[in-house]
Amino acid sequence: MASCQGQRKMSHTSSTATTCYNALYKCKKCGNVGCSQTSPGLCTSQGFSGDKCLKCGAQSSKETFK
């Protein structure tokens, strides 16, 4: 399983960032690749918010990216 190399903020009030390392997913509809976070804007390589693709808006379309 591939891991995200994007930068993730430690908190909403902090400007300090660390490497994300979350699992990567691929959208079955548009091919978008990125990690999944609970809300948009938490990682520079985020592709999904929960189960929603942030590129095409598809729901329940993510699969594990290898």
Per-residue model confidence as pLDDT tens digits over 55-64: 999 999 999 9
Give how many domains the chain has, as a whole number: 1
Please state, in angstroms and rounded to a whole number, the distance separating the CA atoms of residues 2 and 17: 20
Per-residue model confidence as pLDDT tens digits over 5-34: 999 877 666 667 899 999 999 999 999 999
Sign of the Cα torsion 61, 26, 52, 49 reads positive
Range of the domain at 40: 7-64
- Cα 16 → chain centroid: 18
Angle CA 17–4–37, to nearest 5: 75
Please give the model's pTM, rounded to 2 decimal places: 0.85
Q: How high does pLDDT run on average in the chain?
A: 92
Within a domain: residue 1?
A: no
**Average pLDDT estimate for 27-48:** 95
Contact 53, 24 (CB under 8 A): no
